[in-house]
Chains A and B, each alone.
Chain A
Amino acid sequence: MKSFVLGIALASSIAATASSAWAQPAEQFVALPSYRVGPYAAGGSGFYGGIIDYFNLVNANGGVNGVKISWEECETEYNPSRGVECYERLKTKSGGATVVEPLSTGIAYGILDRLPQDKIPMTTLGYGRSDAANGKVFPYVFPLISNYWSQAAGMVRYLGEKSGGMNKLKGKKIVHLYHDSAFGKEPLPVLEAMSAQYGFELVKIPVAPPGSEQQSQWLQIRQARPDHVILWGWGVMNSVAIKTAQRNGFPREKMLGVWWAGSEEDTVPSGDAAKGYTSMTFNTPGNYPLLDELRKKVYAGGKGNLQDQSRIGSVYHMRGLTAGVMYVEAMRAAQEKFGKGKPVSGEQLRWGLENLNIDEARQKALGVHNMFPTVKTSCDDHEGSGAVKVQQWDGKAWKAVTPNWIVGDKALVRKLVDESSAKYSAEKKIAPACMKS
């Protein structure tokens, strides 16, 4: 018993000294509350692997104007309570975290109210509060590239164009098969508004989480005989949906998934059933000079984060790379303004994220041309783009179906964002205003 206690004491003292040795000054520190166990581990490991791979590449190329990027992960198990604890632990390390990305709506909600006091910006790439696109009410939250409302609008626009024009949607039937939670209900305002506007019938069918059993839902869908099914699912619900669709003879070409239902983790377990299934994405599938550079410089040296190299270029990995690119470009922009060659603070990086301008020329220079849409953020628009693409699974890989980026309905989304953020600012008694640098 005594030796046991001594052993614990020894181990913790070693751990304490080891972790304090991590504090390297003059580095740009990024907090990564990640998840690599549990039901969403596959996606988490791909996404955070992508971010870390990009950081390693940038560091190998000399850092951002000589400033190296450092980061620390913390296992949240996708649990809001642990996510908040991880955030609190990481936010003061190494001189202070300068940006955080939890990849979880629950954790993002838990952290949201602490950000203005801690002065740390949070990105919620493609998820989270859609109304956070209004930077006047949410100065520290960045739903970059596209939020759920833009995506839903983009889906309807794509379905309209697929039918031959938005006016052809009149009289059609679209089923919204959704995860019965905050996530699944998020796009309803947009879908209902567009259903009223364009005259299609919206049938809402919820799936009780986690969605391992969907036989009754798909029988209902077969009965309804819709023209399209929007799959707004997460985790196991997606592969089960695809398989159950096959089991009930529903053509997968008519299914359009949200981008959290559009990765290899959803199609591979479904096997052959997923052939022809389409989903949204904000990354054009394919190879890029950046990926080749990664393989050469990072993976060849054994510093690659993914255990399985065939996952390079997979959907979650590319999402992670996209996030990494956003962060580094924001760091560059912030250094241009606040002083090159030294790490920027959280507030300064916030400015950087609010003044991103990644156009096609810059994308070409980075080797990611067309990997994601051009991004231009501002105080009013923390999204930066709102554009989406559609990809289809051919049995082995994803292939882009739409050559160009689709923007759904900026006016409608903006109206909803303004309404919802006004409600939040009234509840929280915040006066909406742009932050001055």
Chain B
Amino acid sequence: MTTESTYAGLLAACSPDLATHTALHGHYPRSSRGTLIRLLADAGLHGKGGAAFSTARKLDSVTGRRVVVIANGSEGEPLSDKDAVLLERAPHLVLDGLQLVAHECGSGETYLYAGSQQLHFLRNALQERRTAGLTEPLVTLVASPKTFISGETSAVVGTIEGRAPIPRDRSVHSTVAGLKGRPTVVHNVETLAHIALIARYGPEWFRTRGLGDASGTTLITLSGDVTVSGVVEIQMGIPLDQLVTQYARTDTPSIRAVLVGGFHGGWIDAQDLPTTTMTTTALVTVGASLGAGVIHVLGHARCGLKTSADIVEYLADQSARQCGPCINGMPRLARALSEIAYRSGSVHTQESIRYLADLVEGRGACKHPDGAVRLVRSSLHVFQHDLRMHAAGACEVNTRMGAAS
């Protein structure tokens, strides 16, 4: 294993070519089958695609012959850039991870699913690997459409099979029967990059990279009312206030709330930032999620309800339109929230929004409505005060801006 003193970060490479990659991280780490799962279990790595499922557990659940491994870099989340940046800056880390997982599962057929812009970098990287002799297993590049839902596991499988990029009904998990009925494991591209590093530096190294009990690092995309935006690698377990001051160079007094996770995530009130850490458990407790690693800051000049309403309108529009409750319920939910956010004297109340949220939750082929409901519930909670103001025809923003001047 390479010594940890040489590690510079997921995005440290100044150039995406193989030579830079090898100089920075060392050669591809060969290992015998069965060792990778143990390494990942000891490291405590969780998926970086949104569900944050234990990577070791996911790999362990794959049994059978002719396993298919899919690297998912589609990144349908509009506020997220990390997968695109990772694929363009460090394609070899992702491909190393893909190769390691394929070897562990005894798979000879792998796919990499990402936007056509990113596939360009991967094509070059694959060519370099072929020349260097790292040819197995077969990696097929598949372009993903720019839709929100195209990154959902069964949608990924469906697209690769040549069907529509929308979720399918699953009574059996894809690790049992996925692509063409074969055991299929789908990993986010960032997860694969972490796997490539854990295989080199070991699980202990990964654990110590996190703060407190949390393991490792993660990529996040900073956006919104911040001084510094973009993709950055942060330590898991970092308190959110430290995250925004250190990485976004934004003072917490200028923040009203932070959207963590993405459009399927949740809002964190500014006052809760110091006590909320970047871990799955802490975020779930406050009604948010790690999600796609999105950190979107809402300053005092923007209305949280309007921002949330716009997000839910987008989510309703991005429905695959297969399932009755989602087709009918999501637009109603979006309209209810929009009416409260944008018009005074709306007939809609918190109760009617909660009623609609309860109606769409858990009723559909995928978790799209569930994610939207999470966002809606957290906005009702965090912007509670603003809800009352909107009902009276006012808005927090005007009051705050008025007081400031």
Q: Do A and B originate from a single complex?
A: no
